[in-house]
A and B are shown apart, each in its own frame.
Chain A
Amino acid sequence: MANVLLEMKNIIKEFPGVIALNNVNIQVKQGEIHCLVGENGAGKSTLMKVLSGVYPYGSYSGEIIFNGEIMNFSNISDSENVGIAIIYQELALVPELSIYENIFLGHEIKSGFLKTVDWNETVIRAKAELLKVKLNINPDVKVKELGIGKQQLVEITKALSKNVKLLILDEPTAALNEGDSENLLNLLIELKNQGVTSIMISHKLKEVLAIADTITVLRDGQTICSLDCKGTNVTESMIIKNMVGREIADIYPKRKSVDIGEVNLEVKNWNAFDKTNRHVLKDINLNVRKGEIIGISGLMGSGRTEFALSIFGNSTDYKISGETFIEGNEVLLKTPYHAIKSGIAYVSEDRKGNGLILINDIIENISIANLKKISKYGVLNKSVEIINAEKFRNALKIKTPSIEQIVGNLSGGNQQKVSLSKWLFTNPNVLILDEPTRGIDVGAKFEIYTIMNELVKQGMSIIMISSELSEILGMSDRVYVMSEGKITGELAIKEANQEKIMELATIGGH
């Protein structure tokens, strides 16, 4: 049996009023990939914060044994010093600095009498480190010019350059497309072969099954089980069952055959140029019918979100040519205001960045896009507003002690439901959902899918943008695939499969 690198014993962490971790035990063996799964709020992140010293020794009870020694970390640098590195979902890179500056930020290579930074040595070392993650790139490039996938690699390089023994990744593929995700997973296996142990938190069970040696499931702050993937045949449904404590028959609820009606929204000859006159969207033709869900698939950077934002009242300020029709009538969607008025709603992929106002409460977030409906002569009727928010809270099952709760305090799934409520309140005919289930747990995902089915049953059209192929295949009636700003294919759901979509997504726009 391999050596145990890390053992966390009987960890209990309490917050005022809540027990976040209730007697958690976890054992990570030397040189394995250990996956940590569980619904949002199960305690995964809290556990990792205990491990990395964000919650210092003394604020929890239990023992952390690393490399055979009991560790009492009082801050993050303590854990870094023994070789534990965490890579969070929100990357901690400085966009305006170059790759090499970022890699050695905080542990600069110094030389000479004055201990000044040795930039030559830094660049040389950076190049070597980058090769370890198979990133062949000039380290002089600024981080902001890299795609999110490469940024993540830089972050991993940064951790590796500190001689990391245990690498912890918090949902590393949440923001990545399929191609980049695969690269990353291969890299983790590569690192494992080099002797680096890693812990990965992920909601994507397919990847977990693909790379994990051991899977630990947390639920409600407790260790439910630890599954050894080498000996036994672990399946997705086994994990889900342990995560939610109940069996989910099907991840994608079936729609009772909906009558697909007239064309609702049609986009013709849609071209867009950004401020630097780059041709971002090329000759896009697309339509969506009443009662239909169309999926837009494509790799990161294929122009999916840009397309959605450009129809949604040109919110990216592109130069645009082309026509949009709603129910056969041409409409001009000059600003988001006009788009909303024409019955289009856009639920952003970035809930925290541009979807919600995190410092405001649920009530205000739900009504903000349609204040007209709850006001007279510009004066708000707060009673109507509250009744309305209460209505959505019940209809979408937003879990919160009160609708006066600040949205920033809600879990990802509940935030997404607030975001959805906000847009449903504008009474849309066409609902654009950009990554509707990113970063939310299995239970909440199922609820969102159920809501989507309910909406198309009422005759709404849904355009769903997603990086998850299984979601596209599971929910759409028709699939458009984008690549380099172009629609490279349209597939009826019957003829669509993962291979065909990936092929169309990678053929390029020319």
Chain B
Amino acid sequence: MNIIRKNVREYGMYIALIVIWLTFSITSNGLFMSAQNINNLFLQTGYIAVLAVGMTLVIIIRHIDLSVGYLSGFLGAVTALLLIETNIPVLIVLFIVVIIGIFVGLMNGSLIARIGIPSFVVTLAGMLIFRGGLLQVTLSQTLIPRSDFFALIGSGYIPSIRVISGMHLSTLLLGLVGILFFAVMEIKNRKNKIDYNFEVLPLKLFIMKILVISIAILYITFLLASHRGFSWTLLIVLAVVFIYHFIMNKTVLGRHIYAVGGNPEAAKLSGINVKFITTIVFGSMGLLSAISGILFTARLNSAGPNAGAGFELDAVAAAYIGGVSAAGGVGKVTGSIIGALVMASLTNGMNLIGIGVSFQYIIRGIVLIAAVIFDIRTRNMKLAK
């Protein structure tokens, strides 16, 4: 059962998430799994999940980005300010903010790659700078943009087309399309592997895996469809994950990123421009910081002087829980999303059953350590075979 051992890390994470959800469902008398709460949970996860995706790439290439928290806070505040002070259309404002984010990321990346300053130092400086920038933009007040369209991004739902016995049709359709897509991809993948004589899951387990995941998606789809449907935030996050997952797994760029993380010297000698890859990865982090800042500001429909504080650490924690290796070269975007969801579920669930903030931090810390211990143990097992 080599194949199971190889993937025990990944399965372990999904199982942990299910256990957490079940535990909270029981202790909160079903409140945790209510449509409204699940919806909430996704909204709470969204802006961290987006950062975690970018952080995954950064950690894969053996760096860290501490500036993303305040950068996303700062960019959120810039968005709010532009919406309040100018008449620029919302979409153009968002475009401008995203461009600023990319620019800042590329700057970080250049300082790290070209001048050779450790990323820890560069982004620590960035953290201070954007913290100051945030205070300056908000003038230590809370900015409230008055744009319905903008608020929709953070707290709106996709149009339902039609409601059938209390269910939003569009959401149901999207969910079904998602399941279909997932199943087709998995089956195709398996068929390919069998063609090349690679090891695959035994058929029974494979069918079980597809069934379990399909049912989970279906359940959540029904749950959300009966409430208000999919939120725009959820779709944006899913789109980001889909695109990054594709880049990391199917493109030359993704392969180069893994190579730079796995062995920068070997990557360089293989004709890969390590400096370019480093700059691009930080550029992408800047882009995602902008999206995160927009999601967060839109959700609260306000930008406060302390927005974004600590997001970077949540993103790093999500990535580690999701199986990214600090030694570089290992990690999956999808894993980090689950990691973000685990962290958000813990916060959400503990709030529901009334555990104090102090204990919440302690428990989340313990979970982080436990996840990494599990990670190291299973990784050693793989090498020892």
Which chain A residues have a beta carbon within 8 Å of chain B's beta carbons?
A: 15-16, 312-313, 315, 335-337, 339-341, 346, 348, 353-360, 364, 367-369, 371-372, 375, 378-380, 382-383, 386, 390, 402, 404, 406, 408-409, 422
B269 contacts A386, C-beta separation under 8 Å: no
Residue contacts A-B, CB under 8 angstroms, 8 given: A335-B271, A337-B273, A357-B259, A357-B266, A369-B271, A371-B252, A375-B251, A379-B252
The residue on A at minimum CB distance from B379 is A359
B330 at the interface (CB under 8 A from A): yes
The residue on B at minimum CB distance from A375 is B252
- Chain B residues with Cβ below 8 Å from A382 are 192, 250
- Chain A residues with Cβ below 8 Å from B383 are 406, 408-409
B251 contacts A359, C-beta separation under 8 Å: no
A358 contacts B250, C-beta separation under 8 Å: no
- The answer, among A336, A348, A364, A402, for a CB contact under 8 Å with B198, is A402
A356 contacts B263, C-beta separation under 8 Å: yes
A354 contacts B265, C-beta separation under 8 Å: yes
Per the bound structure, the CA–CA distance linking A367 and B382 in Å amounts to 23
Per the bound structure, the CA–CA distance linking A315 and B272 in Å amounts to 11
The residue on A at minimum CB distance from B255 is A371
B146 at the interface (CB under 8 A from A): no
Q: Among residues 324 to 344 in chain B, which have CB atoms less than 8 Å away from a CB atom of chain A? A: 329-330
Shortest CB distance A460–B (Å): 19
Number of A-B pairs, beta carbon distance below 8 Å = 93
- Chain A residues with Cβ below 8 Å from B266 are 348, 353-357, 368
B199 at the interface (CB under 8 A from A): yes
A380 contacts B271, C-beta separation under 8 Å: no
- The answer, among B252, B259, B269, B385, for a CB contact under 8 Å with A346, is B269
Shortest CB distance A27–B (Å): 31
B377 at the interface (CB under 8 A from A): no
Per the bound structure, the CA–CA distance linking A98 and B270 in Å amounts to 35
Per the bound structure, the CA–CA distance linking A355 and B265 in Å amounts to 8
- Chain B residues with Cβ below 8 Å from A358 are 262-263
B329 contacts A357, C-beta separation under 8 Å: yes
Beyond the given A354-B269, A369-B270, A404-B198, could you list 6 further A-B residue pairs with CB under 8 A, ordered by the A residue number? A335-B273, A341-B271, A346-B269, A360-B262, A371-B252, A404-B199
- Chain A residues with Cβ below 8 Å from B196 are 383, 386, 390
- Chain A residues with Cβ below 8 Å from B258 are 360, 364
The residue on A at minimum CB distance from B258 is A360
Per the bound structure, the CA–CA distance linking A339 and B252 in Å amounts to 19
- Chain A residues with Cβ below 8 Å from B271 are 313, 335-337, 339-341, 369
Per the bound structure, the CA–CA distance linking A279 and B107 in Å amounts to 35
Per the bound structure, the CA–CA distance linking A369 and B259 in Å amounts to 10
Per the bound structure, the CA–CA distance linking A313 and B268 in Å amounts to 10
A336 contacts B250, C-beta separation under 8 Å: no
Q: A336-B270, A379-B250, A404-B199 are in contact. Are A354 and B263 (CB under 8 A)?
A: yes
B253 at the interface (CB under 8 A from A): yes
- Chain B residues with Cβ below 8 Å from A16 are 385
Per the bound structure, the CA–CA distance linking A390 and B197 in Å amounts to 11
Which 4 residue pairs across A and B have the least CB separation, nearest first? A354-B265, A357-B262, A337-B271, A369-B270
Shortest CB distance A357–B (Å): 4
Q: How many residues of B contact A (CB 8 A)?
A: 30
Per the bound structure, the CA–CA distance linking A335 and B270 in Å amounts to 10
Shortest CB distance A197–B (Å): 32
Per the bound structure, the CA–CA distance linking A357 and B259 in Å amounts to 7
The residue on B at minimum CB distance from A351 is B266
Q: A336-B270, A359-B329 are in contact. Are A378 and B252 (CB under 8 A)?
A: yes
Shortest CB distance B61–A (Å): 13
A368 contacts B270, C-beta separation under 8 Å: yes
Q: A16-B385, A354-B265 are in contact. Are A378 and B270 (CB under 8 A)?
A: no
- Chain A residues with Cβ below 8 Å from B273 are 335, 337
Per the bound structure, the CA–CA distance linking A335 and B271 in Å amounts to 7
- Chain B residues with Cβ below 8 Å from A355 are 266, 269
Interface string of B296-337 (1 = CB under 8 A from A): 000000000000000000000000000000000110000000
Q: A335-B271, A346-B269 are in contact. Are A368 and B251 (CB under 8 A)?
A: no
- Chain B residues with Cβ below 8 Å from A367 are 255
A402 contacts B265, C-beta separation under 8 Å: no
Per the bound structure, the CA–CA distance linking A347 and B198 in Å amounts to 28
Shortest CB distance A496–B (Å): 30
Per the bound structure, the CA–CA distance linking A16 and B384 in Å amounts to 9
Per the bound structure, the CA–CA distance linking A375 and B255 in Å amounts to 11
- The answer, among A341, A357, A372, A409, for a CB contact under 8 Å with B263, is A357
Interface string of B268-295 (1 = CB under 8 A from A): 1111110000000000000000000000
B253, B263, B384, B385 interface centre (most CB from chain A within 10 Å): B263
The residue on A at minimum CB distance from B6 is A404
A337, A339, A390 interface centre (most CB from chain B within 10 Å): A337
Per the bound structure, the CA–CA distance linking A474 and B171 in Å amounts to 72
The residue on A at minimum CB distance from B3 is A404
- Chain B residues with Cβ below 8 Å from A312 are 269
The residue on B at minimum CB distance from A376 is B252
- Chain B residues with Cβ below 8 Å from A369 are 270-271
Shortest CB distance A345–B (Å): 10
- Chain A residues with Cβ below 8 Å from B270 are 336, 340, 368-369, 422
Per the bound structure, the CA–CA distance linking A364 and B269 in Å amounts to 15
A315 contacts B255, C-beta separation under 8 Å: no
Per the bound structure, the CA–CA distance linking A386 and B197 in Å amounts to 11
- Chain A residues with Cβ below 8 Å from B192 are 382-383
Per the bound structure, the CA–CA distance linking A346 and B270 in Å amounts to 9
Q: A354-B269, A360-B329 are in contact. Are A378 and B253 (CB under 8 A)?
A: yes
The residue on B at minimum CB distance from A387 is B196
Shortest CB distance B249–A (Å): 8
- The answer, among A354, A378, A409, for a CB contact under 8 Å with B251, is A378
- Chain A residues with Cβ below 8 Å from B385 are 16, 409
Shortest CB distance B349–A (Å): 35
Q: Among residues 218 to 254 in chain B, which have CB atoms less than 8 Å away from a CB atom of chain A? A: 250-253
- Chain A residues with Cβ below 8 Å from B197 are 402
- Chain B residues with Cβ below 8 Å from A379 are 250-252
Shortest CB distance A42–B (Å): 20
Per the bound structure, the CA–CA distance linking A404 and B193 in Å amounts to 11
- Chain B residues with Cβ below 8 Å from A15 are 384
Q: Among residues 356 to 385 in chain B, which have CB atoms less than 8 Å away from a CB atom of chain A? A: 382-385
Interface string of B52-87 (1 = CB under 8 A from A): 000000000000000000000000000000000000
- Chain A residues with Cβ below 8 Å from B251 are 375, 378-380
- The answer, among B252, B272, B329, for a CB contact under 8 Å with A380, is B252
